[in-house]
Amino acid sequence: MTQSLSEIARDRQIRYFLISFTDLLGVQRAKLVPAASIDTMAANGAGFAGFAAWLDLTPAYPDILAIPDANSLFQLPWQPEVAWLPADLQTIEGRPLEQAPRVVLKRAIARAEALGYRIKTGVECEYFLLDAAGNDISDPRDSSPKPCYDQQSLMRRYEVIREICDGMLALGWGAYQNDHEDANGQFEMNWIYDDILVTADRHAFFKYMVKTIAEKHGLRATFMPKPFAHLTGNGCHTHLSVWDKEGKVNLFYDSEGELGLSTLAYQFIAGVLHSAEAMCALTNPTVNSYKRINAAVTLSGATWSPNSISYAGNNRTHTIRIPDSGRFEFRLADGAANPYLLPAALIAAGLDGIAQQREPGSRCDNNNYTDPLPPEKVRRLPGNLLDALRAFEGDTILTEMLGTSFKSAYLKIQHQCWQEYCSHISPWELAQTLDC
C-alpha cells in the first residue's frame, strides 16, 4: 500500500512541504504547507491566483490549483525538515491548465508513450558563482584566460560544490563529477540520466538547490545565459535517447549504424534540426540568450555554443553532437531554458522527424568557429529573441503537440518581454547616439 504524504512526513521527520510549480518564464512559485495539512492539499490542490505568475491569466480568472506529485518528492538535503514537491496546475473545474509547463511536458510524454517510446535525458547545467550583490565573479583569483578544469579555482569553491554534490548523492541522483567550466567563476555538475520527467523535475530542483546553497555561503548563483560579454555563457546541454516502452532497449543504438546510431535516431535528429529556429523560442527564451549563441570569441578562445543549425560527431562546435553510440547531445539550449519546456520541445520536434522520416543530411566535421559552413549549406540560428518568436509563431509542428493554448500564452508573455527590452535605453545607445 502506498504511503500518504503525512505518513512519509512522520517517517522522515518532515515538518513542511513546498508545493511548487514553474511558470512560463521559468520562475518557481510555491506555497509552504505544514505536514498536518499536506494530505488535504495533495487531494484538493494548493490554491494560487494565476495572474500572480507568468501564466497569461487575468485577475478575474478563478484560482488555479497546484496538485503535488507525490512520486517526485525531494527532501531538502540542507534542510531535511522541508520537502519539495513539483505540482501540476489545473482549473477549479479539475481540467489541466493547458499552458502550464509541466502539463505541456506530460502531454508530450504521453504522445511518445502512445507510440511505444520511452524517452530518457540527462542535462548539464552550467552556472556562475558571483559575489553576494551579483556584480562580479566571487573569486578574484579565478582570472586565468583558460580556466576550464582549473584545479585551484575549483577547490577554492570546494565547500559550495561539496554541499551541492552531497545533496544530489543523498537524493539518489547518481552524481558522478563536478568541474570548473570554461569561464571564470563558472561550474558544472553532472548526474546520471533518467526518464525525461524525472530529469526535468531534478533540473528544476537543481536550480533551486544551487541558488539556495550559494546564498548560504554568502554568494549568488546564476544560470543566466551570458552574464559577461567576454566570458563563455551558461549552456544547458541535453543528452537524449529513445527506448522501448519498458525502458530496457535503447532504440537509438545500432552497432552497424554510423557512429552507433540507428535510423530512428537520425530521424529524430533531423526533426530537431528541421524545427530548430522555432525551438529557439523555448530553448533560448530570453533577450540575453542571443548574446550566448552567435557570440564573438571569448577570453578562452571559444564560446562553446553553436552558431548554425548543424550536427556533427564528437565535435562541440555544432548544435547537435554525437559523443557516443545510442544518444545525441543538444548543445543549443542555455541556462535560462525552462526545465519542462526544453524537453517538451525536443520531443515534439523529434517525433515529427520520426513520423515524417526526415533525414539530417551528412554530418558536419568542420570546426564551425574557425571554418564556418557557408549559408547555402546550413541555416543560421535566430539572431535575437524576436526572430525566434516569429519562427515559433509561424510553426505548426511544435504547436500540434505542445498545444495552441500554450503557444498563445507563451508568445503573448514573451512579446511583452521583448517590448519591455526595446523600451529600455541602454548606456551603449546613449554613448553612440547622444551627439547625433
Q: How far apart are CA 349 and CA 356, in angstroms?
A: 11
**DSSP classification of residue 80:** T
Q: In this structure, which amino acid lies at residue 296?
A: A
Name the band, by pLDDT with cuts 50, 70 and 90, for residue 375: confident
Helices (H) and strands (E) in the chain, counts: 13, 17
Which residues, 6 or more positions from 315, have their beta carbon under 8 angstroms from its beta carbon? Answer: 321, 364, 365, 367, 368
State the helix-helix crossing angle for 276-283 and 385-393, rounded to 10 degrees. Answer: 120
Whether 30 and 96 have beta carbons less than 8 Å apart is answered as no
Whether 254 and 263 have beta carbons less than 8 Å apart is answered as yes
pLDDT for 1 equals 47
Mean pLDDT of 21-35: 98
Q: How far is CA 308 from each of CA 143, 311, 398, rounded to the nearest angstrom?
A: 30, 9, 20
Residue whose C-alpha is closest to residue 401's, from 10, 109, 62: 109
Q: How far apart are CA 108 and CA 106, in angstroms?
A: 5
Residue 48 bridge partners (DSSP) = 64
pLDDT for 294 equals 86
pLDDT for 404 equals 97
**DSSP classification of residue 258:** G
Q: What digits encode the pLDDT tens for the residues 172-190?
A: 999 999 999 999 999 999 9
pLDDT for 43 equals 95
Residue whose C-alpha is closest to residue 153's, from 167, 166, 143, 165: 143
Q: How far apart are CA 186 and CA 142, in angstroms?
A: 10
Q: What digits encode the pLDDT tens for the residues 214-266?
A: 999 999 999 999 999 999 999 999 999 999 999 999 999 999 999 999 999 99
Cell of 285: 527564451
Burial class of residue 208 in the structure, from the number of CB atoms within 10 Å of its CB (0-12 exposed, 13-18 middle, 19+ buried): middle
pLDDT at residue 9 above 90? yes
End-to-end CA distance of the chain: 75
Mean pLDDT of 114-129: 98
Q: What digits encode the pLDDT tens for the residues 75-88?
A: 999 999 999 999 99
Q: What digits encode the pLDDT tens for the residues 46-100?
A: 999 999 999 999 999 999 999 999 999 999 999 999 999 999 999 999 999 999 9
Mean pLDDT of 311-317: 97
Cell of 206: 537543481
Q: What digits encode the pLDDT tens for the residues 422-432?
A: 999 999 999 99
Q: What digits encode the pLDDT tens for the residues 130-172?
A: 999 999 999 999 999 999 999 999 999 999 999 999 999 999 9
Whether 52 and 44 have beta carbons less than 8 Å apart is answered as no
pTM of the model as a whole: 0.97
Q: How far apart are CA 121 and CA 113, in angstroms?
A: 15
Q: How far is CA 250 from each of CA 203, 254, 262, 352, rounded to the nearest angstrom?
A: 23, 9, 10, 19
Number of Cβ atoms within 10 Å of the Cβ of 399: 17
Per the listing, cell 552574464 goes with 227
Whether 63 and 92 have beta carbons less than 8 Å apart is answered as yes
Q: In this structure, which amino acid lies at residue 38?
A: I
Residue whose C-alpha is closest to residue 366's, from 299, 303, 313, 298: 313
Which residues, 6 or more positions from 397, have their beta carbon under 8 angstroms from its beta carbon? Answer: 271, 274, 275, 278, 348, 349, 352
